[in-house]
């Protein structure tokens, strides 16, 4: 009997259907000499610091750094039941072999191995490594299972990533929280990302607008522009000298330029486009692509490759045509050539997984039944595939330089000779009513980009000269599109061009980092923009450069990739992380005096105590009077509210303190199970506990 372990129940169901394990049991499937069960994500995780020593329950500087001599792991509390199922199956006498079928990547390997070791299993296991959930891909995967030992280095890399994050996160968070007397969250990837956001915020905040001017002439109908001028009087002097004078065309150059088709999507570029076009967050896009993967409509999402492999050469034309049919607007408008398929093939640029493309399953799937969000992502990926195998976009760039009263003016235009892939892109954008993106080298002219017929040496008499006024603009705030790009490139300027991996985090983890920053209040979303909060800005001010440096974190990420390839020793990497942690504690023994005021907790009163007139503040469990001699307190878990399935929120508490009563909708009746509306009255009698009662504008029907 073979035991197959997946990451999610939905994947287990798909695999079970393919290999004939169709009998549903409690926590697994069975049949055809197979058992198929699942992990429900991370079943086993590192224990908290206080599990190593009771004294770590309190955060004290003298207890740092916390560096476990032997790492310990525990089963996640809410997943105990499924772990027991897995452990029981692993230890069944009739199970002789395991098959690791968790997601084919670093984190998937970690999830399986931690469960395997926690269960005390020593049975041999094999590895299923697939890039698609199609039935054919699953069958092929089971026909070519790999020995589990071939992925030991990948597991070592994943374990190092997990332990490094724990060491830096636990120690740095405790260290700076203790020093500044505030809850400060620090992370290996999170902190450098926040630093980039705060740096951009500072650039915008400190930016000072400046005016500048251009002098324009229009010889023969061409809009020719002079150099950027900062002083208006200088621009006016040039205009006066040129207006109604003779202009001479000194040079006319024509250069053929090409714009290559876009590469296929990896996860990061897909997340960027989905944010820019649809406004989806990086996490939303990851969730949508994962859902489409599990529906067998897209290939494996957590990839950093933008190419396909040569063994796919025969199936790509079929998938391309199916993709064109899927999006609809392509068929009948542009041809689908197969002569350029080689430009998406590059075996050397594919490591664990190839680029994200549609699967052959799309031909039999009614995409109209998908949620709009999933359908948008599917169409985006399908369109990109068709664009990627089209011809280059070719145009002639024309540059005309005019001399006018001793000054030079330049006009640019272009003539498209081959639409190529941009014909598909334009159809896609028109279907979404999006404006075409401007190329850096093109200048949009009223006649569509073409310059009038010109001849070198040609003269123009009585040419008008005019001035246009402009204002410099600050850098744009980061969006998820641009911060993902920045994370991908972070630190690369300081690293070897041949470094296997550069940047902050991986395609699979960047979305989670952004979500943590928002959830913890360091960053807020304003439409598409990511704006650092005062809390986030203050945190970065307090942290040393080595914790906010993209370079250091990028070096770690590259080292983790080298460990996965077998080119770097895991113990050496972890020794470096441990030494950095010790140094961090030794070099930061006290808070900076100039930063202390930034972290002073300033509580805001929610109202006035009805008993003594002092301020009432919110605590973790109650709303309490600041006068220690006063016993007034409204408890958040007061049965008056919990029985009615309502929460005593700060807003409701403030209204009760201000007006003595507050209308509340949707109160639950324990007697009838129905909901009703009423007015809650603060009926305080001065006793130990505060009382509440209900008032009705009309008789409540039970």
The CATH class, in words, for 211-260+393-471 is mainly beta
Residue limits of CATH 2.70.20.10 in the chain: 211-260+393-471
Report the percent of the chain where pLDDT is more than 70. Answer: 94
H-helix or E-strand spanning residue 410: strand 407-418
166-218 pLDDT per residue, tens:
999 999 999 999 999 888 899 989 999 999 999 999 999 999 999 999 999 98
Centroid of chain to Cα 532:
16
Q: Tell which wins on pLDDT, 598 or 68.
A: 68
The yes-or-no verdict on residue 680 having pLDDT over 80 is yes
User: pLDDT tens digit string along 533-549?
Assistant: 999 999 999 999 989 98
218-257, pLDDT tens digit by residue? Answer: 898 889 999 999 999 999 999 999 989 999 999 999 999 9
Does residue 333 carry a pLDDT above 90?
no
Indicate the pLDDT class of residue 445, thresholds 50, 70 and 90: very low
Burial of 409 (0-12, 13-18, 19+ CB in 10 A): buried
Considering only CA atoms, give the Rg of the chain: 32
Q: Identify the architecture of domain 162-205+507-596 in CATH.
A: Orthogonal Bundle (1.10)
Mean pLDDT (whole number) for 654-662? 92
| pLDDT exceeds cutoff 60 at 114 | yes
pLDDT given for residue 327 in this prediction = 84
Give the pair of three-digit tokens for residue 361. 């399953």
Q: Check: pTM over 0.85? Answer yes or no.
A: no
CATH 3.40.50.720 fits 267-388, yes or no: no
Q: What is the pLDDT of residues 482-511, one digit of tens each?
A: 999 999 888 665 544 444 446 788 888 899
pLDDT above 90 for 352 = no
Beta strand segments in 517-614, E: 523-526, 529-532, 607-608
CB 654 within 8 Å of CB 684: no
Q: If you average pLDDT over residues 362-366, what whole number do you get?
A: 90
391 against 329, higher pLDDT: 391
What would the CATH number be for the domain defined by 2-144?
A: 3.40.50.140
Full DSSP string of 364-405 = GS-GGGS-HHHHHHHHHHHHHHHHHTSPPEEEEEEEEEEEET
Other C-beta atoms closer than 10 Å to the C-beta of 39 total: 25
Per-residue pLDDT band for 700 (boundaries 50, 70, 90) equals very low
Q: What is the enclosing helix (H) or strand (E) of 284?
A: helix 282-294
Lowest mean per-residue pLDDT among 11-15, 27-31, 322-326, 563-567: 322-326
Tell me the pLDDT tens digit for each residue of 577-624.
999 999 999 999 999 999 988 887 667 789 999 988 888 988 888 999
Residue 159 dihedral angles phi and psi, to the nearest 5°: -65, -40
Find the mean pLDDT for residues 348-377: 91
C-alpha–C-alpha distance, residues 566 and 486, integer Å: 28
Torsion, Cα of 645, 649, 652, 656 (10° steps): 100
Q: Of 351, 346, 345, whose CA–CA distance to 314 is shortest?
A: 345
Rounded mean pLDDT of 78-86?
93
Amino acid 628: pLDDT: 79
> CB burial class (10 A; 0-12, 13-18, 19+) of residue 620?
exposed
Numbered ranges of CATH 1.10.290.10 in the chain: 267-388
List, by residue number, the catalytic residues.
Answer: 300
- Mean pLDDT over each residue of the chain, to the nearest integer: 89
Intervals of CATH 3.40.50.140 along the chain: 2-144
Is the peptide bond prior to 65 cis by the omega test (within 30 degrees of 0)?
Answer: yes
Q: Measured between alpha carbons, how far apart are the two ends of the chain, in Å?
A: 59
Can you name the residues that pair with 562 across neighbouring β-strands? Answer: none
Rounded to 5 degrees, what are φ and ψ at 387? -60, -40
Place of tokens 């692993």: 90
User: In this structure, are residues 38 and 11 in contact, taking their beta carbons and an 8 Å threshold?
Assistant: yes
Assign 440 a pLDDT band (cuts: 50, 70, 90): very low
Does 459 have pLDDT greater than 60? yes
For 328, counting Cβ atoms within 10 Å of its Cβ (0-12 exposed, 13-18 middle, 19+ buried), the class is middle
Say which range, 116-130, 429-443, 458-472, has the weakest mean pLDDT: 429-443
Over range 552-569, report the average pLDDT. Answer: 90
Report whether 636 contacts 622 (CB < 8 A): yes
What is the arithmetic mean of pLDDT over 59-87? 94
């Amino acid at each position: 009997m073979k035991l197959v372990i997946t990451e999610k129940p939905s994947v287990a169901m798909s695999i079970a259907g393919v290999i004939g394990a169709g009998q549903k049991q409690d926590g697994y499937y069975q049949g055809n000499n197979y058992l198929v069960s699942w992990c429900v994500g991370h079943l086993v995780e590192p224990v908290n610091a206080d599990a190593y020593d009771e004294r770590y329950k309190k955060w004290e500087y003298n207890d740092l750094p916390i560096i476990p001599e032997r790492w310990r792991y525990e089963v996640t509390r809410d997943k105990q039941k499924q772990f027991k199922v897995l452990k029981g199956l692993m230890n069944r006498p009739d199970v002789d072999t395991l098959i690791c079928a968790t997601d084919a990547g670093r984190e998937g390997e970690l999830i399986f191995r931690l469960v395997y070791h926690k269960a005390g299993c020593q049975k041999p296991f094999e590895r299923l490594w697939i890039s698609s959930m199609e039935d054919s891909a699953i069958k092929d995967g089971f026909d070519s299972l790999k020995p589990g030992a071939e992925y030991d280095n990948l597991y070592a890399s994943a374990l190092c990533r997990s332990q490094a994050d724990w060491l830096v996160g636990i120690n740095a968070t405790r260290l700076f929280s203790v020093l500044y007397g505030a809850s400060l969250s620090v992370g290996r990837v999170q902190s450098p990302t926040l630093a980039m956001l705060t740096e951009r915020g500072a650039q915008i905040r400190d930016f000072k607008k400046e005016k500048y001017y251009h002098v324009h002439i229009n010889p023969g109908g061409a809009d020719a522009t002079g150099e950027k001028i900062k002083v208006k009087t200088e621009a006016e002097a040039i205009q006066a000298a040129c207006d109604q004078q003779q202009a001479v065309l000194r040079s006319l150059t024509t250069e053929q330029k090409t714009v290559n088709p876009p590469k296929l999507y990896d996860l990061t570029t897909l997340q960027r486009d989905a944010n820019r076009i649809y406004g989806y967050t990086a996490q939303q896009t990851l969730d949508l692509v994962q859902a489409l993967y599990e529906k067998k409509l897209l290939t494996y999402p957590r990839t950093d490759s933008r190419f396909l492999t040569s063994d796919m050469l025969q199936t790509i034309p079929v998938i391309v045509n199916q993709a064109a049919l899927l999006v609809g607007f392509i068929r009948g408008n542009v041809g689908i050539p197969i002569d350029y398929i080689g430009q998406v093939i590059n075996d050397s640029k594919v490591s664990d997984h190839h680029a994200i493309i549609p699967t052959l399953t799309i031909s039999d799937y009614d995409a109209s039944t998908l949620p709009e969000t999933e359908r948008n992502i599917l169409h985006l990926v399908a369109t990109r595939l068709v664009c990627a195998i089209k011809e280059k976009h070719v145009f002639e760039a024309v540059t005309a330089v005019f001399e006018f009263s001793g000054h030079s003016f330049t006009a640019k235009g272009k003539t498209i000779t081959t639409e190529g892939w941009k014909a598909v892109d334009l159809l896609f954008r028109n279907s979404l009513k999006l404006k075409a993106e401007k190329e850096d080298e093109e200048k949009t002219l009223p006649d569509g980009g073409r310059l009038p017929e010109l001849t070198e040496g040609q003269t123009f008499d009585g040419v008008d000269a005019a001035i246009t006024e402009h204002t410099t603009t600050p850098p744009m705030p980061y969006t998820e599109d641009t911060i993902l790009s920045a994370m991908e490139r972070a630190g690369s300027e300081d690293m070897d061009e041949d470094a296997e991996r550069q940047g902050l985090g991986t395609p699979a983890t960047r979305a989670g980092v952004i979500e943590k920053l928002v959830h913890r209040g360091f960053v807020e979303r304003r439409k598409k923009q990511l704006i650092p909060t005062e809390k986030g800005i203050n945190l970065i001010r307090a942290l040393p450069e080595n914790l906010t440096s993209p370079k250091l974190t990028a070096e770690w990420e590259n080292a983790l990739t080298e460990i996965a390839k077998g080119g770097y020793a895991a113990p050496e990497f972890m020794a470096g992380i441990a030494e950095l942690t010790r140094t961090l504690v030794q070099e930061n023994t006290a808070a900076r005096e100039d930063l202390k005021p930034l972290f002073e907790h300033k509580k805001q009163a929610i109202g006035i105590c009805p008993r003594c007139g002092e301020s009432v503040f919110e605590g973790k469990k109650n709303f309490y009077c600041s006068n220690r001699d006063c016993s007034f307190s409204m408890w958040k878990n007061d049965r008056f509210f919990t029985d009615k399935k309502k929460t005593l929120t700060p807003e409701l508490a403030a209204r009760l303190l201000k007006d003595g009563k507050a209308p509340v909708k949707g109160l639950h009746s324990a007697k009838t199970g129905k909901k009703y509306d009423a007015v809650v009255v603060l009926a305080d009698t001065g006793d130990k506990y505060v009382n509440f009662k209900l008032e009705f504008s009309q008789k409540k029907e039970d």
